[in-house]
Structure 1
Amino acid sequence: MHAANDGHAVDDANRRKERVALVSIFVSALLTIAKAIGGFSTGSLALLSDAANSLLDVGATTLTWLAVREAHKPADDKHHFGHGKFESMSALAETAFLFLLSGVVAVEGVRRLSSGSDAVEPNWMAAFILIGAILVDGWRWWMLKRVARETGSEALEADALHFSSDLVNSIFVLIALGLAAIGYQAADALIAIGVSAYIAIAGFGLARRTIANLLDTAPPGMAERVREIVQTVPGVVAVAQVRVRPAGSGVLGEVAVDVSRTLPLERVKAIRERVTQALAAELERAEFTVTANPVQLGSETVQERVNLIAHRNRAPVHHVTVQNVSGRLSISLDLEIDGRTSLGEAHAAATRLENALREEFGAETEVETHIEPLESDPLDGQDAPPAVAARIADILRASAAATDSIHDIHHVRVRETPCGLVVNYHCCAPPALDIAAVHAQVDILERLLRQELPEVARVVGHAEPEQADRRLARTGTS
């Protein structure tokens, strides 16, 4: 639902951009005709240059409209990053129009001043045309600027800048006609030259921004902002790289983050998705590709590194024992392999794991693997007779009495399988006791049970922290 709403919002923004660009075309055409009539009727170079500027506006706004329509097209096989650069191309074309216009007006102004042919005949019709043009250009500048800011359109922003120059141009032309009316005929050519300089300066600023976008110059402060956002995402160790470039009304980017190499793939995927969501929430019209680089952290333990190497080699391990023998690292572990595997194949798998561990920790590392058969298929079984289960429960309770910490043997279940008896039971131990001590006590129960009943193939003892009321009852205190 959220994605659908975002799609509708984008479509609405695109339609608004096209609509204001189309309106601008018609308004430019009407202003061109009106200013041309006023310019020829008065002979004002400033007003004729303003009419020529409006004529160029017709071409520029038409180009803007076409560029905005083209920029909305989605990415395809030839344009993998979309068509947003069409807006930048349109803005660059407008800068060419501005420079061309400023050059023509400046040359004509200098020619009139040098030749003395600067006769201007102001009239009220020209004044009314200029006043109307000022109002229309002011409205167009405000409308285009607002829509460009709301939609991030580079082409509409260029149009807004263009029409701001038109607004200033028309104001100065009106001043030139006023000065000509009171006898300062040369003011028309001088102001026309000044307007041409203003147009050239505006064009230079627009060209600089447009060329920067075409060269994929990162928006100021954007990379730093992206780093700040990404670093707040849990699981991100560091931001390795940020690349940002403008694309039409939006921004495209690539972010590479460092994550712990011990994380499972599902967790890494979740971190990348959170980074993407965080960037989308904070940055409008931005689309980022996020990659994750697994790195070794200084806080990794030897056991974590062993488990990671084993996981990479698809080798289940347990009972990992790490020793420091006279400054040399020694690692021993149980390697689980399908019990149906031949010894030759199992030994080759163990050798591959041992070599991988030596590559991780150094060739001098001592690595010993105990191959343990793994039951890959479920065992067919059935509940043992009640008498057998009761006897095993009694043996466990008697054995628990011989330990320091294990008591309250309960929930005893015994199953008969082709491999022998499988025993599952629960017991209690002090909650403050460390699990190594609890495990050692549970192992004692297993050994004692096997001594009494050799047919027991598997014993699973589940230790639970004893409750306060049970401890009081066991010790006989109140």
Structure 2
Amino acid sequence: MDQAADRQAERAALVKRKERAALWSIVASVAITLAKGAVGLGTGSLALISDAAHSLLDVASTTMTWLAVRAADKPADEQHHYGHGKLESLAALAETAFLFLLSGIVAWEGVRRLMEGEADVRPSWLAVGVLVGAIAVDAWRWAALKRVARETGSDALDADALHFAADLVNSVLVLGALGLAALGYPQADAAVAIGVSLFIALAGFRLARRTIDTLLDTAPEGVAERVRDAVKSVPGVVEVDSVRARPMGGRVMGEVRVRVSRTLPLDRVTAIKAGIDAAIHRELPHSEFTITANPIQLDDETILERVMLIAAHLRVPVHHVTVQEIEGRLSVSFDVEVDGRIALSAAHALASRVESAIQDELGPTVEVESHIEPLEMDHLKGREADARTAAAVALALAEAASGIDKLTDVHGVRVRETPSGLVVNYHCHAPPDLDVATVHACVDELERRVRTQHPEILRVIGHAEPAGRE
């Protein structure tokens, strides 16, 4: 929950940054447009007038960008399951249409003036001052927008940055045209205007191609490889089946399909998926991936693991699984625990179901046998046994343990009375280097001896500890 809250707060902060950057762009565009338009009309420079027209379109495009940025970050709803991020791409595409329209108008007017010989350009220091100021503002907005667009992945802000970059180049070229006009080459103004139109068209083409790729869900270059490498590094991932990615309003959305061992418990698979999500987020902070984990059988899976997995899927507890190979033939036996209150016919049907599932997994030639044991389904209600009974059981345990070579120091004896009989818990010591199978056999033998003396005992639970342990 904390991780999700942190991501939501981070995203909210990015949204505010995008909106603030777009709003400042509107202010800058209005100021530049008014200044260029006034000076362009005063000097009669087509290049400057076209530059002012370009800036006027910037006012419209930056306003549209601001509106799109605000709308694009609305959460998903019933009509838009993946959110509204594509609105930024649509805004960027509309801005490219403005760029193409402007470049066509400027190119047509420039060609007309060259062919008709019009060259009424009146350079002035005021025009130079306005252009220098515009260049400074354009450079500031381009750098600011480019930085925020890179940090947030916003197509609309990137398109806005391109507009200001185009303005900057335009202003530099117009400044050069005014200089040439002052030196006696007034036709340079129309020629520069045509050059400006070609630059605008080229910039618009590049932006349009990138925006159309986004609208067509073209995978961002290199993202799939980065995600695949990040996912491979997560412990528990056996193989990455596929990675799909697409841009979505400043974010990258996609799907990752991985393979994990089918023997893993559900909570472990959930932890692996959380690890994959964290690894992707570290590599791509502004991303959202759906993760699917497909269980597969690994080559090193043991027969015991396969049997336990089948029992877990059937929700039937089994224990004491014994796997044998007899003259090249596999034999599997196990104890299956069922509700002790049900009839033998129902218990046998349940055991047969487990046997059939194991045989389907391992093959028809495998011999499968089960032993049915009763399982206490409800809590046993009881009370502490009286002192005499507890002492008698403790003495019986100590005497029986004295006849078993490997067990010593029976202690911590607890005896409880239940409606079904006595339940006895105790601790004892055994050599620390003794194998578990031998210790278990000794504890079973101790239980058999005590229950022979005290048939009223329902269950004996012995906890063996390494001798010498403090």
Whether these two folds match at TM > 0.5 is yes
Q: Which residue of 2 aligns with 1:374?
A: 375
**2: CA distance between counterparts of 1:25 and 1:366?**
80
Please name the residue that 2:352 is paired with: 351
Q: CA deviation at 1:150?
A: 3.5
Residue in 1 that maps onto 2:148: 147
The 10-residue stretch of structure 1 (253-262 or 6-15) with the greater mean CA deviation from structure 2: 6-15
Find the residue that maps to 1:341 and give its secondary structure.
coil
* Partner in structure 1 of residue 191 of structure 2: 190
* Residue 108 (structure 2) pairs with residue 107 (structure 1): yes
Q: Normalised by the size of structure 1, how large is the TM-score?
A: 0.91
Deviations 1:343-384 (A, max 9, x none): 221121112111111121112221111111112223344444
Does structure 1 residue 126 correspond to structure 2 residue 127?
yes
Moved more, 215-224 or 301-310: 215-224
Which residue of 2 is the match for residue 273 of structure 1?
A: 274
Mapped to 2, the partners of 1:8 and 1:268 lie a distance apart of: 28
Give how far 1:459 is off.
2.4
Alignment partner, residue 329 of structure 1 = 330
Report how many aligned residue pairs link the two structures: 469
Contact 2:260 2:296 in 1 (8 A): yes
The worse-fitting range, judged by mean Cα deviation, of 325-334 and 305-314 is: 325-334
Name the amino acid aligned to 2:446: L
Q: Structure 2: which amino acid aligns with 1:196?
A: S
Quickly say closer, same or farther: Cα 1:257–1:173, change in 2 above 3 A: same
- Matches of 1:2 and 1:304 in 2, distance apart? 35
Which residue in 1 is equivalent to 2:68? Answer: 67
Q: Distance in 1 between matches of 2:349 and 2:50?
A: 87
Distance 2:421 2:14 in 1: 72
The 2-side partners of 1:19 and 1:388 are apart by 81
Letter in 2 for 1:118: A
Q: Does 1:339 align with 2:373?
A: no
Alpha-carbon distance change, 383 to 177 in structure 1, aligned in 2, over 3 angstroms: closer
Letter of the aligned partner of 1:233 in structure 2? V
CA pair 180-425 structure 1, distance change in 2 beyond 3 A: same
* Identity within the alignment, %: 61
2:201 corresponds to which residue? 200
Q: What CA deviation, in whole Å up to 9, does each residue of 1:105-131 have, x standing for no partner?
A: 223222322333334332333323322
RMSD: 2.4
| Mapped partners of 1:50, 1:431: distance in 2 | 89
Where in structure 2 are there 5+ consecutive unaligned residues?
none
User: Deviation at 1:242?
Assistant: 1.9
Q: What residue number does 2:94 align with?
A: 93
Aligned residues of 2:227 and 2:283 also touching (Cα < 8 A) = no
**2:290 aligns to what?**
289
SS at 1:373 equivalent: strand
Shift of 1:161: 1.0
Aligned to 1:40: 41
Whether 1:50 aligns to 2:45 is: no
Q: Which residue of structure 1 aligns with residue 176 of structure 2?
A: 175
1:191-250 Cα shifts (integer Å, max 9, x gaps) = 222212211221122112211211222222222222232233333333332222211122
Q: CA deviation at 1:386?
A: 4.4
Change (3 A) 1:461 1:132: closer
Q: Structure 2 CA distance, aligned partners of 1:424 and 1:124?
A: 102
Alignment CA distance shift 1:247-1:437 (3 Å): same
Please say which of residues 13-22 and 199-208 is displaced more in the overlay. Answer: 13-22
SS at match of 1:436: helix
**Residues 62 and 420 of structure 1: CA distance in aligned 2, closer, same or farther (over 3 Å):** closer
Distance 1:83 1:390, change over 3 A: same
Residue 405 of structure 1 and its aligned partner are, at CA, apart by 1.4
Letter in 1 for 2:121: V
Once structures 1 and 2 are overlaid, which stretch shifts more, 279-288 or 426-435? 279-288
| TM-score between the two structures when normalised by the length of structure 2 | 0.92
Q: Where does the alignment leave 5 or more consecutive residues of structure 1 unmatched?
A: 470-478
Q: Take 2:440 and 2:23, find their aligned partners in 1: how far apart are those partners?
A: 79
1:399 alignment partner AA: A
1:397-476 maps to which residues of 2 (within 5 A)?
397-467=398-468
Give the aligned partner of residue 474 of structure 1: none
In structure 2, what residue type is equivalent to 1:113?
A: L
1:412 to 1:100, Cα distance in 2 relative to 1, 3 A: same
Deviations for 1:44-86, whole angstroms, at most 9, x for unmatched residues?
A: 2212221221121122112111111211211111111111111
* Offset at residue 468 of structure 1 (A): 7.3
